Chain A
Amino acid sequence: MAEKKPRNRVGIEADRVTDVSSTDFPGYYPGEDHSWNLEKFQENLKIHIEYISELNAEFDLIGVDASIANAFRRIMISEIPTLAIEYVYIENNTSIIQDEVLAHRLGLIPLKANPDYLRWFKKDDPDFEPTDYDTVVLQLSAKCTANPNAPEGTTDPKLLYNNAHVYARDIVYEPQGRQSEWFPEGIAATNPDILIAKLRPGQEIDLTMHCILGIGQDHAKFSPVATASYRLLPTIDIIGEPITGELAKKFRSCFPKGVISINSKGEAVVKDARKDTVSREVLRHPEFEGRVRLGRQRDHFIYTVESTGAMTPDEIFLKSVQLLKKKCQILRKFNLAA
């Protein structure tokens, strides 16, 4: 093979994946300096943002090690505090959905509230009294009645009854103390259309909920993300002679749309390797043997962050970085030399 495989490449072959581990450590390559160097890191680190919408984001972190990238991902999923319903005080529940099932369903509703304004509710302290600093109070009451004005012969429960369906939008926020200052926009479910329960005439739900801060490690309901994941950037290298003619068309069809294009000379060229799913279809065809090298760039992480709505996805990532930093600072406070 003419050109040497770059160091930061993971090799993808038909039956195996090669060069998975990082090699950027002192002593790995003779005569090379791979010691930690902040200036070098700053120079090499690149961040490219593909898109950030209200709930989703895709961005690239280029020039970091997997251990660091994975730390951010793990923190986004399990260590960023958010608000969720934790205690449900049921005054009355005559619906067919049991108290504990109802309470669980309520707990899973993502809430829109800035967690920075709240402090930790100390769950393990039996004498801890909830205050406006740590507890948000929500109310839900719904009573189903028959609709006397229902059209003749209809079977639609929405027309036959009033309040037949209880939705997340029926939850009422009750500001306590200074909370109206901290949450001027109020606190509500991010998705108002979540169905909580169905009722029939005579059935009633009346309950009070206490929301507290928590982390995804304790319960998934506290996770600010639906998913936070990364993948490595795929690479496709056409080696040796260009692939031309009918073979180029076949080559193109081995990849998802938009990955390979055919230039004016009829040669297959890599247009956008990012779109590749790394299906390895090309490696099944003997005619392409030795003509293409699939891989992934080991230090190019494409993050996909899907927020539940409590925070914007970029905010979630920034918090994960700050949290990793805070972990280090906490450990740094200990005097171990003594």
Chain B
Amino acid sequence: MASKTAEHEDTHAPEIVDQEMVDEEIPEIDPNKIQILPGASEDGTAASFRILQEDHTLGNALRYVIMKNPEVEFCGYSIPHPSEAAMNLRIQTYGEITAVQALEKGLDDLVDLCDVVESKFRSAIDKGDYETTQPIDN
């Protein structure tokens, strides 16, 4: 392996994808990906959601950001059965907002969080203030 100290910029900058390919790709989303489970409160301040094809990856991250909302009294998730690809999410609010609103805010906050992490990581890469070889002594 050749050492590449000078050219880490072009080896590590993720390439821009062929725009045509991206535009053509329309992901097929299951129309039942998210459902409200029966038993939600009349006023909508407490509800459980069933999200298909999701696991701890989204479940725990979403639980964290939803719990960060001061209007939320309780948020928890569970994976009812390991061989069913589904995740249940429970939200109860103090009554000022609905569970759906809390979920939507949680999703938006998580999107914002990802944007921050991505831009910070990219600027750390652009700064180039790091080694390009793995230290031997470890």
Contact = CB atoms under 8 A, between A and B. Distances in A.
B42 interface: no
A24 B65 CA distance: 11
A325 B133 contact: no
Contacts of B100: 336-337
Contacts of B118: 318, 321-322, 325
Interface string A289-322: 0000000000000000000000010110111011
Contacts of A96: none
B18 A45 contact: no
B17 A117 contact: yes
Given A45-B120, A331-B33, A51 B69 contact: no
A41 interface: yes
B36 to A, nearest CB: 6
A317 B117 CA distance: 10
A45 B116 contact: yes
B57 A324 contact: yes
Nearest to A319: B14
Nearest to A325: B114
Contacts of B124: 47-49, 59
A332 B51 CA distance: 12
A65 interface: yes
A328 B116 CA distance: 15
A160 to B, nearest CB: 32
Contacts of B109: 36, 38
A121 to B, nearest CB: 13
Interface in B82-138: 98, 100-101, 103-104, 107-118, 120-122, 124-125, 129-135
Interface size class, chain A:
35 or more
Contacts of B116: 38, 41-42, 45
Contacts of A65: 64
Nearest to A316: B14
B33 A36 contact: no
A52 B65 contact: no
Contacts of A24: 68
Given A51-B133, A65-B64, A74-B57, A331 B34 contact: yes
A161 interface: no
Interface residues of B, number: 64
B111 A67 contact: no
Contacts of A336: 34, 36, 49, 100, 103-104
Given A47-B120, A329-B111, A336-B36, A75 B57 contact: yes
B21 A71 contact: no
Given A45-B120, A70-B60, A71-B57, A182 B18 contact: yes
Interface in A2-17: none
A68 B56 CA distance: 10
Given A114-B15, A318-B121, A49 B130 contact: yes
A231 interface: no
A25 B67 contact: yes
Interface string A93-118: 00000000000000000000010110
Contacts of A182: 18
Interface string A49-80: 11111101001010011011011101100010
A334 interface: yes
Contacts of A330: 27, 29, 33
B18 A117 contact: yes
Contacts of B120: 42, 45-47
A334 B34 CA distance: 8
A35 B69 contact: yes
Given A35-B69, A331-B34, A67 B63 contact: yes
B58 to A, nearest CB: 5
A61 B118 CA distance: 11
Interface of A: 22, 24-27, 33-36, 38, 41-42, 45-54, 56, 59, 61, 64-65, 67-68, 70-72, 74-75, 79, 114, 116-117, 119, 182, 312, 314-315, 317-319, 321-322, 324-325, 327-334, 336-337
24 contacts: A36-B68, A45-B117, A51-B132, A53-B131, A53-B132, A59-B124, A71-B58, A116-B21, A182-B18, A317-B121, A318-B118, A318-B121, A321-B114, A321-B117, A322-B114, A324-B58, A324-B61, A327-B58, A328-B58, A330-B29, A331-B33, A332-B111, A334-B34, A336-B100
